[in-house]
Amino acid sequence: MIDISKYKDDNNIYKKIWDKKEKFDSLPKFYNKIIEIDYQEFKEKIYNNSLKEANDIVDSLLSGDIYILKEAFSKAYVERIKVRTMENWQNLQSEFHKIHEGCPNFYRNIDTSLSDKYAFKQVKRTQYFFPWNKDNLNLYKEIYKRWRVLKYLSGYYEDAWEKNTPKDGIVDRIQIVKYPPNSGSQELHQDPYIYQKFFISLYLSKKGKHFQDGGIYLVDQNFKKYSMENIVNEGDLSFGFGTIFHGVDVPIPIKNTEDDEYMGRWWLGIYSTESDYNKNKHTGKPAFK
């Protein structure tokens, strides 16, 4: 078992609050409110360390609120990632690697034939990036600046796990995903809840501009769907408790753009995951099973 306490900072105001308020058996399953806030303003709020504000945000997250941090990344940055990934994928074969020491970045085409190998059904083309590999896309330097704010808010040292490798049991991982038009999807599920509290999304495309419909949704207590895509823009970052049910509906392409790789729904996921040296690795859970 990994000793998680060494990654927590006793002087971190949020750690003290989480220790008091977070109960594993009453974490939120359904979204409550969507809160939109400018990324810079949010960051200042977090590092302000105001006891009142810190308590408020912990309460809000525990109630199931989802935050959208507006303009966390510039449109130009997002654009660059997408275009370079598109170019790279032309020369990559689908592969799979366990997260062991030296694990390379790799591309995997999870089509319908592979979809059942996962804890919950999903169809996507994805590339995984680990911090120990060469970072040709300049992902980690930029993303860590934002990720640290969320690690700090979670009660960890803000640079927790950045230098970890698989032997340490937990590692940072970024994935860039294209949900293929008319087939890409992710069944309604909860993320594994163990080290990273939140599910964190960076939006690389925009409904209405790159695809017509579909994409990420949440559900309320009555399992009524709410599509997040209506209010997010390229460069926005969203997060909320990973235990909140979420899924991805098949993206419906804009007419005659099905074969245009640039179009459609692109997404970037930010996650601190267990390595494959751990026995009984935690995985996500589908909503109905």
Under the rule (CB under 5 A), what is the footprint of Fe ion?
191
Least Cβ distance, residue 198 to Fe ion (angstroms): 10
Cβ partners under 8 Å of residue 82, min gap 6: 204, 205, 262, 266
172 vs 191 by CB, closer to Fe ion: 191
Least Cβ distance, residue 144 to Fe ion (angstroms): 21
SS3 readout for 205-249:
CCECCCECEEEEEEECCCCCEEEHHHCCCCCCEEEEECCCCEEEE
Rounded alpha-carbon distances, angstroms, from residue 195 to 27, 30, 284: 14, 20, 13
The tokens 């977090």 sit on which residue?
Answer: 46
As a whole number of angstroms, the distance between CA 214 and CA 270 comes to 21
191 vs 236 by CB, closer to Fe ion: 191
Least Cβ distance, residue 286 to Fe ion (angstroms): 11
Residues 109/95, Cβ–Cβ less than 8 Å: no
Least Cβ distance, residue 256 to Fe ion (angstroms): 31
42 vs 199 by CB, closer to Fe ion: 199
Helix ranges (DSSP H) in the chain: 13-21, 39-48, 51-62, 75-89, 139-153
191 vs 229 by CB, closer to Fe ion: 191
Query: Cβ of 233: how many Cβ atoms within 10 Å?
Result: 15
Q: Which residue is nearest to Fe ion (CB)?
A: 191
105 vs 273 by CB, closer to Fe ion: 273
54 vs 66 by CB, closer to Fe ion: 66
Least Cβ distance, residue 199 to Fe ion (angstroms): 5
C-alpha dihedral sign at 224, 248, 133, 109: positive
Residues 142/77, Cβ–Cβ less than 8 Å: yes
Least Cβ distance, residue 191 to Fe ion (angstroms): 4
